[in-house]
């Protein structure tokens, strides 16, 4: 054990935001590289990883969970149940929820990460774990949030704590305004292309700079969501007025300052200029194979998917609808639109977006993960090509291992769905 | 006890496709391991076989089904240049030993290797390749026989303890 610097008033000399979060929780100075058994504020499980986590909890001799209110449980990957085994998993988790007095949001709310955010279940300074790799999205709310496996989750369910190796921080500073039809998804794809699929392994990514300070919550969520695609343990945007305003009304919590000290030690620093960005596309089969849309414009596609925890919010659907205007989707393209949650679905519905997509020839599905991980519907046949606003283009991710997945922004997805091939959204 | 060699960035969707995530039994999962990307693995892998890979092995989804599928296929050791962090923890938790070996890519497919944990090296084709030491708290979990066995004997844990 090592004591670093002076620990005063919950803050420590020259620390990163992540070090401060752990130090605040533990009431002593904690530095990157320390291994610590830290208390967990909230744990999220869903229908795919939940059953195994519960089984592990039971195998560990767990009788009652650490705190029924510290758990968010819902079904989103295979809803409504698309197979008998999926239905059995749901039944198993419902029983667990009843026995343990855990609120079960079941299959009515939408994608886990979106639901956690919109219910204010993640807040600045908290330590959160989820049995899902994109749990890092809650860094948009200033929390240290990370994805864990089911056995680790079993441990958390029993003890309300978990071993962490406190990560070093890579600071990503972005300045400049986005050009027309370029946004957060293009930015994070650009960052991913530069840092690489393993460039941030075991580290935290801190997103700062004017571009992030002026970015609204949905864009911050899109960026933090994809931190794991660089191997990061967490992605985090220092909480500011935007964060506290988002939480107001969702959660009774008084704002407090939380950011990295300027002279804290970062393992790496990157700078980006958003004003020079073009729409970006990740090409099969790696997330970090990122090119300008102009390089792949004209590529044949069969299906366009607008949705997922990365880009299924109202703002994303609006971005797509704005590009679409009153046109129709290309008749050879299947367009699947899935709002990320019930709340987002209703917002889109009331704003007329759902009607717009349906009139244009798209399918609008109830909130869920959908084709994102190839577990439910909307799968691809061998040789088929999908253009998707989600976060992973691994071989076989959306169906056949001989299919191809490209990743892009909602604007690029909509432009391409109109033209019937990958299309630069600035040209429609 | 042969080596199955893989490249860089092998993701958990490749190790076990999403449509099999409703299964939790390691042996049932094993019949679909690397399905569509390397079908002969599920057919021919034997107890004690070793996976050798490049960098970032196990990236992507947090699905513990991935190490479980490999465990079901008989794999107890994975040697890679580097691991994705969730996979690394999951592997240890289910009882697979992940070894970081900077020279892993020089090991040949189909060859055999000998592991000398205490000395911190592996032997491949008469060459000695260094491996990184397993972090102490991970070692504790492995020695206990996995996280379930480790946790079963505990009533509660003391938080905010730890080491550098
Ligand atoms: S939408 Fe996709 S990435 Fe997000 S939680 Fe669902 S399957 Fe995972």
Q: What is the ipTM of this complex?
A: 0.89
Report helix, strand or coil for B43: helix
Q: Does residue A166 form part of some domain? A: yes
Best mutation target among B6, B55, B60 (most A Cβ atoms within 10 Å) is B60
DSSP of A306-372, one letter per residue?
E-HHHH-SHHHHHHHHHHHTT----TT-EEEE--SBHHHHHHHHHTTHHHHHHHTT-EEPPSS-GGG
Round to whole Å and give the CA distance between A247 and A141.
8
A227 plus A353 within the same structural domain: no
Within a 10 A sphere around the Cβ of B127, how many other Cβ atoms?
Answer: 12
pLDDT tens by residue, chain A, 428 residues: 333 333 444 444 799 999 999 999 999 999 999 989 999 999 999 999 999 999 999 999 999 999 999 999 999 999 999 999 999 999 999 999 999 999 999 999 999 999 999 999 999 999 999 999 999 999 999 999 999 999 999 999 999 999 999 999 999 999 999 999 999 999 999 999 999 999 999 999 999 999 999 999 999 999 999 999 999 999 999 999 999 999 999 999 999 999 999 999 999 999 999 999 999 999 999 999 999 999 999 999 999 999 999 999 999 999 999 999 999 999 999 999 999 999 999 999 999 999 999 999 999 999 999 999 887 889 999 999 999 999 999 988 898 999 999 999 999 999 999 999 999 999 99
Identify whether A63 is part of a domain.
yes
* Residue A348 vs residues A243, A344, A345, A388: alpha-carbon distances, Å: 23, 6, 5, 19
- Taking the domains of chain B in order of start, what are their residue ranges? 3-133
- Do A27 and A150 lie in a common domain? yes
Domain that includes residue A379, residue range: 281-427
My answer on whether A310 and A234 are in the same domain is no
* CATH, residue A24: 3.30.499.10
pLDDT of B146 reads 87
Gap from CA of B10 to ligand 1 centroid (Å): 19
Residues of A in contact with B100 (CB under 8 A): none
Residues A80 and A152 in one domain: yes
The residues near B20 (Cβ < 8 Å, ≥ 6 apart) are B29, B32, B35, B65
Residue A310 and residue A243 share a domain: no
> Do both A56 and A196 map to the same domain?
yes
The residues with which A161 forms a beta bridge, in sequence order, are A39
Top mutation candidate among A44, A111, A235 for ligand 1, by most atoms within 8 Å of CB: A111
Residue A387 lies in a domain: yes
Q: Say yes or no for a CB contact (<8 Å) between B62 and A133.
A: yes
d(CA A27, CA B31): 48
Q: Are residues A301 and A413 in the same domain?
A: yes
CB contact at 8 A, A342 and A354: no
Residue pairs between chains A and B whose CB atoms are closer than 8 Å: 166
State whether A95 and A239 are in the same domain. yes
How many helices (H) and strands (E) chain A has is answered by: 15, 19
How many domains, chain A? 2
In whole angstroms, what is the distance from residue A173 CA to residue A170 CA?
Answer: 10
Would you say A161 and A38 are in contact if contact means Cβ atoms under 8 Å apart?
yes
Do A101 and A29 share a structural domain? yes
Q: Please say which residue of A220, A239, A272 terminates a domain.
A: A272
Domain co-membership, A286 together with A355? yes
Task: Give the nearest partner residue to B62 out of A36, A149, A163, using CB atoms.
Answer: A149
Pick the residue of A92, A151, A233, A381 with the most B CBs within 10 A to test the interface with B by mutation. Answer: A151
Of the candidates B61, B148, B160, the beta carbon closest to that of A59 is on: B148
- Note whether residue A11 is domain-resident: no
Phi and psi dihedrals of A347, rounded to 5? Answer: -60, -45
Calculate how far, in angstroms, residue B112's C-alpha sits from the geometric centre of ligand 1: 39
Residue A7 lies in a domain: no
CATH number of B3-133: 3.20.19.10
CA distance A237 to chain B (A): 21
Given this model, what pLDDT does residue B164 score?
Answer: 57
- Ligand 1 centre to CA of A354 (Å) is 21
Mean pLDDT by 10 residues, chain B (164 residues): 94 91 91 94 96 95 92 95 93 93 96 93 95 86 88 87 70
A1 located within any domain: no
d(CA B83, nearest CA chain A) in Å? 8
Q: How far, in Å, CA of A205 to CA of A172, rounded?
A: 7
Q: Which atom of ligand 1 is nearest to the CA of A308?
A: 1
Cβ(A105) – ligand 1 distance below 6 Å: no
């Amino acid at each position: 054990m090592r004591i670093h610097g002076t620990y005063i008033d919950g803050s420590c000399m020259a620390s990163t935001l992540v070090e401060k979060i752990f130090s605040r929780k533990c009431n002593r100075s904690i530095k990157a590289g320390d291994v610590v058994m830290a208390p967990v504020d909230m744990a999220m499980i869903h229908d795919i990883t939940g059953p195994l986590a519960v089984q592990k909890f039971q195998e560990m001799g767990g009788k009652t969970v650490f705190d029924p209110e510290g758990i968010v449980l819902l079904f989103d990957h295979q809803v409504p149940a698309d197979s008998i085994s999926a239905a059995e998993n749901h039944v198993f988790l419902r029983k667990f929820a009843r026995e343990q007095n855990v609120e079960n949001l079941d299959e009515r709310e939408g994608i886990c990460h979106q639901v956690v955010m919109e219910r204010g279940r993640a807040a600045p300074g908290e330590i959160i774990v989820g049995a899902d790799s994109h749990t890092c999205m809650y860094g948009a709310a200033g929390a240290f949030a990370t994805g864990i496996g089911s056995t680790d989750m079993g441990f958390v369910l029993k003890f309300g704590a978990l071993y962490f190796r406190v990560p070093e921080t890579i600071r990503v500073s972005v300045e400049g305004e986005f050009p027309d039809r370029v946004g957060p998804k293009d930015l994070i794809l650009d960052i991913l292309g530069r840092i690489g699929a393993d460039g941030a392994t075991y580290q935290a990514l801190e997103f700062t700079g004017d571009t992030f300070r002026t970015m609204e919550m949905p864009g911050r969520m899109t960026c933090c969501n994809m931190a794991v695609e660089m191997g990061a343990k967490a992605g985090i945007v220092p909480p500011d007025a935007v964060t506290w305003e988002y939480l107001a009304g969702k959660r009774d919590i008084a704002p407090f300052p939380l950011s990295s000290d300027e002279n804290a030690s970062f393992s790496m620093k990157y700078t980006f200029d958003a004003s020079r960005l073009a729409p970006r596309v990740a090409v099969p089969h790696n997330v970090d194979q990122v090119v300008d849309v102009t390089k792949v414009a004209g590529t044949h596609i069969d299906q366009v998917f607008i949705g997922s925890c990365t880009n299924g919010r109202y703002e994303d659907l609006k971005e797509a609808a704005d590009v679409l205007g009153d046109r129709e989707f290309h008749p050879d393209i299947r367009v699947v639109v899935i709002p990320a949650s019930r709340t987002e679905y209703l917002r889109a519905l009331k704003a007329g977006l759902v009607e717009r997509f349906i009139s244009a020839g798209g399918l609008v599905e109830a909130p869920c993960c959908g084709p994102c991980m190839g577990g439910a519907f909307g799968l691809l046949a061998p040789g088929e090509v999908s253009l998707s606003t989600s976060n992973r283009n691994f071989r076989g991710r959306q169906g056949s291992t001989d299919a191809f997945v490209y990743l892009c922004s909602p604007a690029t997805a909509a432009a391409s769905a109109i033209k019937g091939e990958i299309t630069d959204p600035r040209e429609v | 006890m042969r080596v199955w060699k893989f490249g860089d960035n092998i993701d958990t969707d490749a190790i076990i496709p999403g449509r099999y995530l409703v299964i939790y039994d390691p042996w049932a999962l094993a019949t679909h391991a690397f399905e569509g990307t390397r079908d002969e693995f599920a057919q021919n892998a034997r107890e004690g076989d070793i996976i050798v890979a490049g960098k970032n092995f196990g990236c992507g989804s947090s699905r513990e089904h991935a190490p479980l599928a490999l465990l079901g296929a008989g794999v107890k050791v994975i040697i890679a240049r580097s691991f994705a962090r969730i996979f690394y923890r999951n592997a240890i938790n289910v009882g697979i030993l992940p070894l970081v070996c900077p020279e892993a890519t020089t090991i040949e497919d189909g060859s055999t290797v000998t592991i000398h944990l205490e000395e911190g090296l592996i032997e491949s084709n008469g060459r000695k390749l260094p491996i990184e030491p397993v972090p102490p708290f991970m070692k504790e979990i492995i020695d206990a026989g996995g996280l379930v066995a480790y946790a079963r004997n505990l009533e509660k844990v003391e938080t905010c303890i730890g080491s550098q």
